Chain A
Amino acid sequence: MGWTGTSVRRKEDDRLVRGRGLFTDDELEPGMLHLHILRSPYAHARIVRIDTAAAEALPGVACVLTGREVAAQCEPFMQIGPPPCDKIRDLPMAVDKVVFQGEPVAVVAAATVALAEDAAQLIDVEYEMLEAVVEAEDALSDRSILHEAAGTNRTWQGVFEYGDVEGAFRDAASVVRIPRMKFHRFASTPLEPNACIAEWTRQGSVEFLCNNSFPGFAQQLLAPGLRLKADQLHIRTYDVGGSFGNKIWNYVYMALAALASKKAGGRRVKWTETRTEHLLGSGHGNERTYLDTEVALDRDGVITAVRSRHIDDCGAYTRYEPLGCVIWSQVLPATYKLRNMRIDFTQTVTNKCPVVPNRGYSRMQQLWFMERIVDICAHELGIPADEMRLKNYITQFPYETPNGCVYDSGNYPAMLAKGKELIGWDRWQREIAAGRKAGRLIGIGIGTTLDSGTNNFGQARIVNPFLPFSGNSEVCTMRLDIEGAVVVCLGTTPSGQGHETSASQVVADVLGIDPSMVYVRPGFDTAWNTFVGHSGTYASQFAVTGLSAVHGAAQKLKAEMRRLAAFMLEAAEEDLEFGTGAQGPEVRVKGTDKAINYWYMANLVNNNNAMLDESLGDVTLNVRHVYRPPFKVPDTERKFGNLTLTYAAQLHIAVVEVSRETCRPQVLAYAAVDDCGTLINPQIAHGQVHGATSHGIGAALMECLDYDETGNLLTATFSDYCPITALNIPDIAWGNIETPSPFSYNGAKGMGEGGGAPLHTMSAAIQDALHGAGVIVTGSHHSAPRLFEILQQPNRDEAVSVERRGGKQGRR
């Protein structure tokens, strides 16, 4: 494999760095309408009256839509969750009441975007305030119910129990109890906000140019929602400026743009989200509370069991949730070998922005939980953090977890060794000891994490046994174009991951040509017939599903070319070889100068077929390959089965000092070791590691979507939310190991989410820095004001307790 493993320069960059990319908002044409969404200022309120007359009368306004009209033309979107989720009436616009601040209550389509906003200001909405519930535990009391038809805010509950939990606690040498921990709400904030252009055509179909990142799914929701057939939706993407999962959810807004176009007589309607809209209403990451956690350990500090209650806060609508209620269990025991676990998992709606898959989706919440457990136990039992991990790491692969997931490959101790070397572990131990003597709050922390990729949609059935989903798949279509060019179409929606480049590398390796000779079409297009229901870019899987589809298609094309060449060259197929000759890419008879180039092969099939023998009647040089990972439907009763195909791993180490003056946590050194199996394009992988690390550091130190008690978002602008930028990213020492996956053809593992590694790492380092001050880190967000509060009132006495028992050896 000549091109695989080399840092081929990214093909996409040529147009992107020259400003020649095409992002949805770049598309502009005369007569296009612009959509403005009027959003609720309140988190929970009844809509008493809406008067749109003044807005409609404003010159330049094409139409105004309210919830009533939308409800009359739409079917509520399908809900993934089991009862009571099925009772939730999920429409793209609020009808009788609003359930989160920022929920759409009306839209205006007008000649300019400014005019649309002027008109929206003239819409008079009378609200009757209702009590908002913003805390998950409060919401579960059902004192104020969001979706009255559902009758409760509790949208999902299930117990995940494996092994002999009671026995392990009975036999434990020590039990560590952590009453409460909390993973905060943030979102990874793509540079390009959500956007779409919709045109309801005269033929009754809808044309979309958008940046949705999971169009295979969006189409299945949008078509019935808009009362159309799936094939009547033509969905395209082109350049997309980041997604991180957040853009899975923008089908809701695509529906609004489509309905506005319909009402405006089929004119194209463009909607581009503003930053504040993005922060208010585009989708946040899951917020999770961990209650009554108990950890059983044996005499050696080996964790034997964990039991806990988790409450997940999914915001106002369940939508793609409650998939998050099972997705975390892909990494149930994290990187640790304990066999006994019991997690009682509940999800609730609250009067906050709905959550959406966000880089590290649902798994990072579980990994953070497990990493906190490991660190808190290590500190309380006086075991160094690195030794604690070595005692507990899984070391044999493939490894079947207690819930039936199969970790394909890995070497966590080697990653730890490499991380320690990169950061200079021993030197820092000395500096930290000296620093502490001088009164400095300084610590070092390890975060081990898993980026489980290529999900088995069968896990959805653990949430709702009646869902018609399982497995996974991705498509590639490939053809030798009429002039002999290799043209590749993908079913994915790249948003910066360099799919055009990596796909070219794979094709080039199969055909023995240069990647520059392979043309991969940018973007996604339902008209290419290159998609299935799973198509999109999410769940860390392109290197596996996407490239396996590309590889399969390239092999099919190669087989057809070989037959064609054998006929024309009058040679046996096994005597042929693929390569590049004087007339470009060709197939030749080994050891001779007899060859046929790609142009002639394409010419024969497309323009010149009387030359061909009947036996070649099925050769079209236009192939389609669907890759399907080898999944089974999980056992939904036991909540058992293989939920993901590959497990990339990250091991990060940070040295952090908390300023005694300002409480600012400062990263003094940072090392990130990655293992995503065989690297396809090391530079792209490195870039993804850097991006995921930066996002995680931002989430840990800066970014938090804070609501006040009325459900008012306090961080609705960038100057309040403070997303991480280049100015805040520390130098990151990067290292890599490769443990090839036995389950993918190329040994690659999906990657890019990074499992939120820095969140665990920062919590661990700050724990180490502040443990001496009586602080147990039980939250994932470490802004200076929060650290100030905790240093004012050290929490160790309430945050953790340790019960040590004499005698029996704990069981494994």
Chain B
Amino acid sequence: MYPAPFRYHRAATLDDAIGRLVGIGEGARALAGGQTLLVWLKMRFDEPTDLVDIGRIPGLDAIEHDTKGVRIGALATHARIARSPLAKQIPIVGDCANGIADNQVRSRGTIGGSLAAGDPSCDWPVLLTTLDATVHCRGPAGARTLPADGFVQDLYATRLEAGELITGVSFALPGKGSAGAYVGFKRCAPAFPTSSVGVQLTLNGDDCTQARIALGSAALTTIRAQAAEAELSGRTLNAQVIARAAEAAAAAADPVPDQRGSPAFKRSLIDALVKRGVEVARRRARGETVEVSHEYY
């Protein structure tokens, strides 16, 4: 429960952090809120020689939005996002931010860290995939952007290069008739979700013109349920259509058996959560206020 010894560096600027990470090389890890990394260090699953603390780099935690879109700095904590006007304006963001772990963790954990962890159970990669977000990165070779969809490539592996850091994420404001929901199921507040689902629909009445569905804890990475999206896009929503989409999403999942349940149970959860997510998105598109998030005992 105590990490192996390491050197601690506090980076003053982004360039300072990148410089140190590149200079130290393989043994270095970037530390933001510590939600994932500190647990790993305490269990000694990982024993880096150096931690570069990026948590106090100024300007990386802004939450901004204008008519065109939303930009969230990598260091914005789940709690700050949950309390921001953004979470009210785009309820799916609030669903996600409010549902992560417990209050203490939400006050430390960051959106950038959640993406960089590459854990299939993390919530933000699912939400950002649902919203077709862009990940902003900067590394020794300069700045670049990557789509959130596919950013996590494999279990605990992302598309970040050595010394490269996430600086923020951005996504377009949902357009007219577009609404979404992020719903999950977990055993208790601090547990990782057993399953989670993000749904974003563009609706004209009950006619669905566009759908995006992403699944968390459903495979070794966040996955997009494109077959499920195809069941909804261009169709008039009714129970049968939604059931087919839910079934397609469950079929797309490849969950691993673990403490949280068998693959069959997790697939049945995904089926239920897709139906719930679509239902909430429909109601929100009609202007209703609906509170959802993770469900637990």
Contacts and interface: CB of A to CB of B under 8 A. Distances in A.
Interface of A: 113-114, 117-118, 121, 274-276, 661-666, 701-702, 706, 714-715, 718-720, 722, 724-725, 727-728, 783-785, 788-789, 792
A664 B264 contact: no
A542 B296 CA distance: 37
Interface stretch (B125-133, B187-195, B226-234): B187-195
A569 to B, nearest CB: 62
Given A701-B297, A725-B188, A121 B272 contact: no
Nearest to B2: A114
Contacts of B156: none
Given A663-B265, A719-B190, A719-B192, A728 B1 contact: no
B75 to A, nearest CB: 24
A275 B42 CA distance: 12
A752 B163 CA distance: 56
Nearest to B268: A788
A789 B259 contact: no
B242 to A, nearest CB: 13
A228 B4 CA distance: 38
Nearest to A114: B2
B1 A727 contact: no
Nearest to A277: B1
B5 A788 contact: no
B265 A789 contact: yes
A113 B42 CA distance: 12
Contact of A789 (B3, B262, B296, B297): B262
A661 B188 contact: no
Contact of B185 (A664, A715, A718): A664
B295 A664 contact: yes
Contacts of B189: 725, 727
Interface residues of B, number: 32
Given A121-B44, A719-B190, A788-B261, A664 B297 contact: yes
Quick one: which of A118, A665, A784 has the most chain B CB within 10 A?
A784
Nearest to A723: B188
A702 B5 CA distance: 36
Of B43, B188, B260, the most chain A CB neighbours within 10 A belong to B188
Contacts of A663: 265, 268
Interface string B109-141: 000000000000000000000000000000000
A701 B297 CA distance: 8
Given A663-B268, A664-B295, A714-B258, 11 more contacts: A113-B2, A276-B43, A662-B273, A706-B259, A715-B259, A725-B188, A784-B261, A785-B260, A788-B261, A788-B262, A792-B264
Nearest to B260: A785
A219 B111 CA distance: 53
Chain B contact residues: over half helix, strand or loop, or mixed?
loop
A276 B1 contact: yes
Contacts of B297: 664-666, 701-702, 728
Contacts of A789: 262, 265
Given A663-B265, A728-B297, A789-B262, A722 B1 contact: no
A702 B185 contact: no
B259 A714 contact: yes
Interface of B: 1-5, 43-44, 102, 185, 187-192, 194, 258-262, 264-265, 268-269, 272-273, 275-276, 295-297
Contacts of A121: 4, 44
Nearest to B269: A662
B4 A702 contact: no
A699 to B, nearest CB: 12
Nearest to B276: A661
A793 B53 CA distance: 52
Contacts of A114: 2-3, 5
Contacts of A724: 188
Contact of A661 (B190, B275, B296): B275
Contact of B265 (A274, A714, A788): A788
A638 B227 CA distance: 69
Contacts of B192: 719
A728 B296 contact: yes
13 contacts: A117-B1, A276-B1, A661-B272, A662-B269, A664-B185, A718-B190, A722-B188, A722-B190, A724-B188, A727-B188, A728-B296, A728-B297, A788-B261
Nearest to B195: A662
A399 B2 CA distance: 55
B187 A722 contact: yes
A715 B259 CA distance: 7
A549 B5 CA distance: 53
A718 B102 CA distance: 13
Nearest to A792: B264
B78 to A, nearest CB: 16
Nearest to B185: A662
Contacts of B275: 661
Contacts of B273: 662
Contacts of B187: 702, 722, 783-784
B296 A274 contact: no
Nearest to A273: B1
Nearest to B296: A728
Question: Which 9 A/B pairs are nearest by Cβ-Cβ distance?
Answer: A785-B261, A661-B272, A114-B2, A274-B1, A722-B188, A788-B265, A722-B187, A785-B265, A728-B297
Contacts of A117: 1-2
Contacts of A728: 188, 296-297
A662 B185 CA distance: 8
Most buried by B among A276, A715, A720: A720
A786 to B, nearest CB: 9
Contact of B272 (A113, A275, A662, A714): A662
Contacts of B262: 785, 788-789
A664 B273 CA distance: 13
Which of B185, B259, B261 is the most central at the interface, judged by chain A CB atoms within 10 Å of its CB? Answer: B259
B295 A720 contact: no
A719 B260 CA distance: 10
Nearest to A659: B272
A665 B276 CA distance: 18
Contacts of A701: 297
Nearest to A276: B1
Given A662-B272, A702-B187, A720-B191, A788 B264 contact: yes
Contact of B191 (A113, A275, A722, A785): A722
A719 B191 contact: yes
Nearest to A660: B272
Interface centre among B3, B187, B295 (most CB of A within 10 A): B187
Contacts of B44: 121
Given A702-B297, A706-B259, A118 B185 contact: no
Nearest to A701: B297
Contacts of B2: 113-114, 117
Contacts of B265: 663, 784-785, 788-789
Contacts of B264: 788, 792
Contacts of B43: 276
A204 B43 CA distance: 37
Given A118-B4, A661-B275, A664-B295, A702 B188 contact: yes
A554 B245 CA distance: 75
A118 B258 CA distance: 30
A186 to B, nearest CB: 14
Contacts of B296: 664, 727-728
Nearest to A783: B187
A720 B269 CA distance: 18
B295 A662 contact: yes
A401 to B, nearest CB: 36
Nearest to B257: A785
A276 B1 CA distance: 8
Contacts of A714: 258-259
A714 B5 CA distance: 28
Contacts of A784: 185, 187, 194, 261, 265
A702 B296 CA distance: 10
Among A665, A666, A719, A792: residue with most chain B CB under 10 A: A719
